[in-house]
Amino acid sequence: MKIEASHYDTVEWNPEPLKPGKLWFRPKTIGKIDIKKKRIELKSPCRIDVGLIDYSALKFTDDSDYKAGEISFSGDIYTTVKVKIIDKPTIEIESTRKLFVEHYARIMKEVTGYQGGFAIKTKQHNCRHVGFGSSAVMAETTVMAINELLGKPLQFRDVRELVSHNFVEEADSKDMLFPGATTGGSFNTIRRGGMVITSTESEEIFHIDTPLDYSFVVGTPDVHTAGPESSETDVNCMGWERHNERINAAKSSLWIITEVMPYAVRGEWDKVGNAFYNYTLFGGKSMQMLYYQSALADVLFQLKIAKVEGGWMTSAGPSLVAFTKDKVDIAREIFEKNKFKQILVVRPDNKGITEL
């Protein structure tokens, strides 16, 4: 895949399959293993992505370049991971995403030098390829659970970089893994919930609790989505996005600094939501919405006309999010009128990852 923003700005990516445990990055500081308990179960919220700060900076894992940034919320659709220390040096996995989970268990064994084994069991929601960060959250929860059992040989920043810089995507059609693309934003989001802004090198630069009297109404249109082995979204959009984001990234950054952050601090979430409309309709997201050819921009504008406080397309789509205090029914009606195949009402999560 060749992503070309101009003749002097190209990114070539050949997504060759890889085996679980592939390491591109190893943390510099690794503490000693100190096992004090043999089992743990963690629960992590979903990540509702507003979008990247700079789409032109998005690179794939094997480029090891993390400057795209992200705005994201935490919601009450959960993934759970149980990990148990076992005497055998094997990795036993009970999961619908066995190969994917194995990758992160193996890199934890490799970087920590742990010689024992794990029994891992995962349970996740059924919302995949709709912008809830199912892959990233599964990876992060697995690694956090293992790190906890091993006595936290890795500090949070190191764990976050380990996952982000060794991030993979899972194929739908076959048991294959590919290099992925991540900002590290979902890790910051599940850490303690709320709304988080992530910037260069996956650093969290802003965090605030989401008001609990607001809801996310998430509508998914009836369009085909696919894993990295067959998805055309990247091919059709990313070159165009990189070209346009030379200007759009500056607008997004201005809106974040002068509207999103200050109005969130002031508790004026209707103004935060209006900035999200601007970001989505007049930035790189608009191209992704056009790709799906299902009138997503039109539906988003219907939400704005109906005075729904905020709206955007989550992640690479195709789901739209209505962020509202008292217009849940109105948002639902708009999605139903436009024949969206799935409509979910998601509540904010301000706790983040918790131990059960």
Q: What percent of the chain has pLDDT over 90?
A: 64
User: What pLDDT shows up at residue 236?
Assistant: 59
pLDDT-derived band at 188, boundaries 50, 70, 90: very high
* Residue 122 burial (10 A CB sphere; 0-12, 13-18, 19+): buried
* Beta strand 91-94 pairing with 70-86: unpaired
- Are 318 and 237 a contacting pair, CB within 8 Å? no
Residues 266 and 317 in one domain: yes
User: What pLDDT shows up at residue 134?
Assistant: 83
How many domains does the chain fold into? 2
Residues 220 and 176 in one domain: no
Write out the residue range of the structural domain in which residue 87 sits.
2-209+351-355
Please name the amino acid found at residue 6.
S
pLDDT-derived band at 318, boundaries 50, 70, 90: confident
DSSP label of 210: P
User: What pLDDT shows up at residue 225?
Assistant: 64
What does the alpha-carbon distance between residue 187 and residue 262 come to, in Å, rounded to a whole number?
A: 23
Beta carbons within 10 angstroms of residue 61's beta carbon: 22
What does the alpha-carbon distance between residue 174 and residue 233 come to, in Å, rounded to a whole number?
A: 19
What does the alpha-carbon distance between residue 134 and residue 130 come to, in Å, rounded to a whole number?
A: 9
CATH number of domain containing 240 = 3.30.70.890
Stronger pLDDT, 197 or 4, i.e. the higher one: 197
Residues 220 and 203 in one domain: no
Residues 114 and 11 in one domain: yes
User: What pLDDT shows up at residue 289?
Assistant: 81
User: For the segment 253-296, what is each residue's pLDDT rounded down to a tens digit?
Assistant: 999 999 999 999 999 999 999 999 998 888 767 777 877 777 89
DSSP label of 209: P
Residues 203 and 225 in one domain: no
Residues 176 and 322 in one domain: no
Residues 78 and 138 in one domain: yes
pLDDT-derived band at 333, boundaries 50, 70, 90: very high
Residues 95 and 120 in one domain: yes
Residues 296 and 281 in one domain: yes
H or E element, residue 142: helix 134-149
Closest CA to 139 of 163, 117, 162: 163
Residues 250 and 169 in one domain: no
Please name the amino acid found at residue 313.
M
CATH number of domain containing 10 = 3.30.230.10
Residues 226 and 330 in one domain: yes
pLDDT-derived band at 116, boundaries 50, 70, 90: very high
pLDDT-derived band at 233, boundaries 50, 70, 90: low
Q: Which backbone phi and psi does 233 adopt, to 5 degrees?
A: -60, -50
Q: Which backbone phi and psi does 168 adopt, to 5 degrees?
A: -130, 160
Residues 241 and 334 in one domain: yes
User: What pLDDT shows up at residue 113?
Assistant: 95
